[in-house]
Amino acid sequence: MQSQLEQTLLSKITDLPTLLAKVSDWKNEGKKIVFTNGVFDLLHLGHITYMANAAELGDKLIIGLNADSSVKRLKGPNRPVNDQANRAALLAAMFFIDAVVVFEEDTPLNLITAVLPDVLVKGADYTVENIAGAKEVLANGGEVKTITLVEGHSSTNIINKIKAQRKEG
């Protein structure tokens, strides 16, 4: 039997049809919907800061999470380190995240087009022209924002540090 906490966490991890029903309810309540996406493989301070800043841009934060197959295509055969179920659960555990939805494609364009958030967010390493779904969100009257990333924090840096320590050890 699942605890109340487990049920709450699992209820945040959703599929697209369920998410669209939630988004409809939230919009009917006048809530401002924020969407961002990523791999979020090895969670670190940069991820947490980025997502917390994204959450402050509205009332409800949706995370589009790259599926394992998508991560392998984008990052290589040794990624992700953590599978999508674990990555989704870690994201769902954060109080400022309201929904996590996994997508199989290389970009979340189809997901963004379906949700049409009020605010689409990516890291400042992207330009608006290079953000999947930006054109669609802007055409729907939404905003596209970039957030400055925390220097020196990335999953790749963590993996490389581990590899270096293994060689030394």
Please report, for the chain, the start and end positions of each structural domain, with discontinuous segments joined by +: 4-168
Structural class in CATH, domain 4-168: alpha beta
Place of tokens 């392998």: 72
Using DSSP's 3-state secondary structure scheme, residue 38 falls into strand
pLDDT tens by residue, 128-161: 999 999 999 999 999 999 998 777 666 667 767 7
pLDDT tens by residue, 7-53: 877 899 999 999 999 999 999 999 999 999 999 988 888 899 999 99
Please report, rounded to a whole number, the percentage of residues in the chain having pLDDT higher than 70. 95
Cβ neighbours, 10 Å, residue 74: 13
Instruction: Give the Cα separation of 39 and 31 in Å (integer).
Output: 26
Over 80: is that where the pLDDT of 166 sits?
A: no
H or E element, residue 91: helix 84-92
Which structure tokens are listed for 103? 């997508």
Does the pTM exceed 0.85? yes
Backbone angles phi, psi at 159, to 5 degrees: -60, -45
Which structure tokens are listed for 163? 């590899």
